């Protein structure tokens, strides 16, 4: 088949890029009309005083030193600060920023694989599937997940620069790859496995090993080891950055959580869930359904599920190895998926760790999509079907995923719709009930909110956030005894929560227990010396003025 002239190839690439951009906008443009949600968005944006103040010396210094959100992510913080600097506290622009980042990621994915593989049709199919896949909706529609999009952007830029280095041995390209990798780590630590991914791409499609393969593909072991050693040595600076960030991550995790936090879920259950989750993720990539913002961690997992999942993982590994010489895309795609999911598979946990999460598969699903795109192209060639038929099949598949993603994105329009959906499609979801109650309470629908707080506490009686929120609502309703009961239980789970101390002080004060109220306010000020509400409440109490704060404007609910 004759090669296309450069002008034709360039025009084809521009057309593909334009189409990918239109796909992204078609699915996600609706998000610019959406609000913030009450899950992480408060901490990341609209209740974060540093972020709301925009880019300035004080906020940048905070971004560079803050380790209170489990990972060091200064570029992510600065990204949110830039939104506030330019557009104020406007969710429309924050959503638009996310959509543009996803669009850029999709285009970069096409350009990268088009350049590495020389297969424009399959590269376009890969990028189009990634653009419209419903599992991407969470990362794009959730403002707080900006970190995921930024990390993916810098990961793809790193791979683009690395490909240029592999072709031309340019020191400039190598330096750019290191710079982009550093930026990615400063956005989210999920890309720590990128050096291993680079070694994987050296096998295919870059073909940098002798005879394009390892020993199991028929290559002499010594020849392979010499090449592998050279390629690993080449990436030592990348591995050094990974090691440094992992050390920082362990330090930050220890700073944030006590040893008890690590033993909440037994290690045996974490390992079982990790094995089963790999198969669940693969199934959701192929057939996305019943998606939710939070999937509660299981109380137990049957042994047969672990055995079957492990068997399926090993079977796919075996098939990809046996077919390596003829179909290397299976090997690379499968191990891309397995490897890039390791940081989020749940062996190390902190906080309300879910069983799995759609956002965690944003870049790992590229591996499965590589397998689908290249294997689909191979089947088309083998069946010798005509081009219109192949294009029609591709349009149907992309259109189906695009419709599903558009519908899934609609659940992100507000907190009530998001968590109502999660309650519908999951079992025993105490986090979804609590956040749904939180959203209802913020609208003044207190009786409905209490039903969901009670549902959360029936599932997890010691869940301090639901106790805190229920206590705040009972305080609004002037049911002081119940408010005190719930707030005191909340303090057992989170003794250093300023909001709980403030609300408990109000309840004590209105109950006439002024000494206890004063102790609560002082504790709040000890934890947060500049807390305006604690200062105001303490002044009112010392002046012996009534604290008339039983209205929704003083409601201090916990937003996750």
Task: Give 106-129 pLDDT, tens digit per residue.
Answer: 999 999 999 999 999 999 999 999
Task: Check residue 389 and give its pLDDT.
Answer: 84
Coil, helix or strand for 1? Answer: coil
Q: State pLDDT tens for residues 358-388.
A: 999 999 999 999 999 999 999 888 877 777 8
Which domains, and CATH codes, for the chain? 6-413 (no CATH), 428-554 (1.25.40.10)
Q: State pLDDT tens for residues 270-280.
A: 999 999 999 99
Coil, helix or strand for 212? Answer: helix
Average pLDDT rounded to a whole number, residues 404-426: 97
* Separation CA 107–CA 428 (nearest Å): 39
Average pLDDT rounded to a whole number, residues 126-146: 98
DSSP annotation string for 504-559: HHHHHHHTT-HHHHHHHHHHHHHH-TT-HHHHHHHHHHHTT------SGGG-----
pLDDT(235) > 60: yes
pLDDT(54) > 70: yes
Q: What percent of the chain has pLDDT over 70?
A: 89
pLDDT band for position 533 (cuts 50, 70, 90): confident
Mean residue pLDDT across the chain: 90
pLDDT(65) > 50: yes
Q: State pLDDT tens for residues 292-314.
A: 999 999 999 999 999 999 999 99
Average pLDDT rounded to a whole number, residues 156-180: 97
* Separation CA 128–CA 27 (nearest Å): 12
pLDDT band for position 552 (cuts 50, 70, 90): very low
Q: What percent of the chain has pLDDT over 90?
A: 73
**pTM of the predicted protein model:** 0.91
Q: State pLDDT tens for residues 463-494.
A: 999 999 999 999 999 999 999 999 999 999 89
* Separation CA 278–CA 334 (nearest Å): 11
pLDDT band for position 220 (cuts 50, 70, 90): low
**Cβ(138)–Cβ(358) under 8 Å?**
yes
**Cβ(101)–Cβ(156) under 8 Å?**
no
pLDDT(261) > 50: no
pLDDT(32) > 60: yes
* Separation CA 157–CA 177 (nearest Å): 7
Average pLDDT rounded to a whole number, residues 191-200: 96
Average pLDDT rounded to a whole number, residues 5-34: 85
pLDDT band for position 536 (cuts 50, 70, 90): confident
Residue holding tokens 């004590």? 508
Q: Residue 293: what are its φ and ψ, rounded to 5°?
A: -75, -25
The DSSP secondary-structure symbol of 44 reads: I
* Separation CA 176–CA 480 (nearest Å): 60
Task: Check residue 425 and give its pLDDT.
Answer: 97
| Dihedral, 237, 239, 243, 249 alpha carbons, nearest 10 | 100
Tokens, residue 146: 């900006």
């Amino acid at each position: 088949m004759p090669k296309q002239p450069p002008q034709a190839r360039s025009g084809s690439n521009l057309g593909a890029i334009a189409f990918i951009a239109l796909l992204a906008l078609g699915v996600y443009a609706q998000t610019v009309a959406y609000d913030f949600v009450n899950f992480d968005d408060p901490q990341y944006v609209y209740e974060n005083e540093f972020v709301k103040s925009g880019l300035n010396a004080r906020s940048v210094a905070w971004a560079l030193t803050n380790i209170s959100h489990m990972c060091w992510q200064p570029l992510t913080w600065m990204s949110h600060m830039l939104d506030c600097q330019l557009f104020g506290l406007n969710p429309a622009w924050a959503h638009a920023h996310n959509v543009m980042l996803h669009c850029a990621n999709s285009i970069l994915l096409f350009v990268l694989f088009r350049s590495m593989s020389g297969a424009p049709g399959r590269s376009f199919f890969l990028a189009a599937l990634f653009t419209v896949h419903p599992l991407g909706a969470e990362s794009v529609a959730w403002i707080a997940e900006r970190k995921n999009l930024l990390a993916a952007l810098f990961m793809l830029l790193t791979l683009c620069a690395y490909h240029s280095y592999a072709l031309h041995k340019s020191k400039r390209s190598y330096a750019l790859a290191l710079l982009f990798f550093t930026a990615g780590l400063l956005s989210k630590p999920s890309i720590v496995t990128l050096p291993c991914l680079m070694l994987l791409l050296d096998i295919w499609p870059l073909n940098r090993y002798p005879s394009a393969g390892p020993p199991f593909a028929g290559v002499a072991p010594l020849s392979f080891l010499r090449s592998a050693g050279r390629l690993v040595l080449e990436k030592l600076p990348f591995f050094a950055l990974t090691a440094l960030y992992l050390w920082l991550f362990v330090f930050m995790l220890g700073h944030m959580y006590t040893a008890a936090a690590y033993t909440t879920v037994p290690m045996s259950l974490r390992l079982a869930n990790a094995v089963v989750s790999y198969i669940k993720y693969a199934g959701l990539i192929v057939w996305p359904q019943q998606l939710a913002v939070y999937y509660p961690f299981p109380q137990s997992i049957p042994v047969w599920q672990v055995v079957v999942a492990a068997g399926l993982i090993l079977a796919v590994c075996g098939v990809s190895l046996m077919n390596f010489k003829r179909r290397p895309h299976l090997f690379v795609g499968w191990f891309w998926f397995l490897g890039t999911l390791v940081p989020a598979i749940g062996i190390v946990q902190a906080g309300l760790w879910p069983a799995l999460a759609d956002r965690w598969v944003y870049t790992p699903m590229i591996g499965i999509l590589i397998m689908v795109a290249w294997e689909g192209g191979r089947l088309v060639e083998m069946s010798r079907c005509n081009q219109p038929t192949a294009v029609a099949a591709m349009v149907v598949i992309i259109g189906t995923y695009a419709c599903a993603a558009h519908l899934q994105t609609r659940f992100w329009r507000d907190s009530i719709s998001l968590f109502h959906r999660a309650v519908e499609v999951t079992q025993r979801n105490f986090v979804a009930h609590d956040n749904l109650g939180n959203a209802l309470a913020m609208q003044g629908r207190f009786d409905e909110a209490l039903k969901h707080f009670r549902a959360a506490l029936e599932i997890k009686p010691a869940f301090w956030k639901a106790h805190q929120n229920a206590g705040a609502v009972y305080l609004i309703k002037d049911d002081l005894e119940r408010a005190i009961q719930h707030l005191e239980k909340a303090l057992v789970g989170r003794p250093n929560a300023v909001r709980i101390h403030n609300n408990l002080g109000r309840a004590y004060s209105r109950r006439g227990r002024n000494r206890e109220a004063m102790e609560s306010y002082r504790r709040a000020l000890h934890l947060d010396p500049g807390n305006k509400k604690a200062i105001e409440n303490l002044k009112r109490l010392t002046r012996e003025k009534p604290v008339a704060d039983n209205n929704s404007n003083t409601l201090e609910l916990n937003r996750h």
